[in-house]
A and B are shown apart, each in its own frame.
Chain A
Amino acid sequence: IAGITQAPTSQILAAGRRMTLRCTQDMRHNAMYWYRQDLGLGLRLIHYSNTAGTTGKGEVPDGYSVSRANTDDFPLTLASAVPSQTSVYFCASSGTLTGELFFGEGSRLTVL
Chain B
Amino acid sequence: AQSVTQPDIHITVSEGASLELRCNYSYGATPYLFWYVQSPGQGLQLLLKYFSGDTLVQGIKGFEAEFKRSQSSFNLRKPSVHWSDAAEYFCAVGAEGSGYSTLTFGKGTMLLVSP
Contacts and interface: CB of A to CB of B under 8 A. Distances in A.
Interface of A: 4, 30-31, 33, 35, 40-43, 45, 48, 50-51, 58, 90, 92, 94, 97-106
Interface of B: 9, 32, 34, 36, 41-46, 49, 51, 90, 94-95, 99-103, 105-108
Q: Per DSSP, are chain B's interface residues mostly helix, strand or loop, or mixed?
A: loop
A98 B44 contact: no
A104 B43 contact: yes
Given A99-B103, A103-B45, 16 more contacts: A4-B43, A30-B100, A41-B107, A42-B90, A50-B99, A50-B100, A58-B102, A97-B99, A97-B100, A98-B49, A98-B94, A99-B101, A101-B44, A101-B46, A106-B41, A106-B43
Interface core residue of B9, B45, B95, B100 (most chain A CB under 10 Å): B100
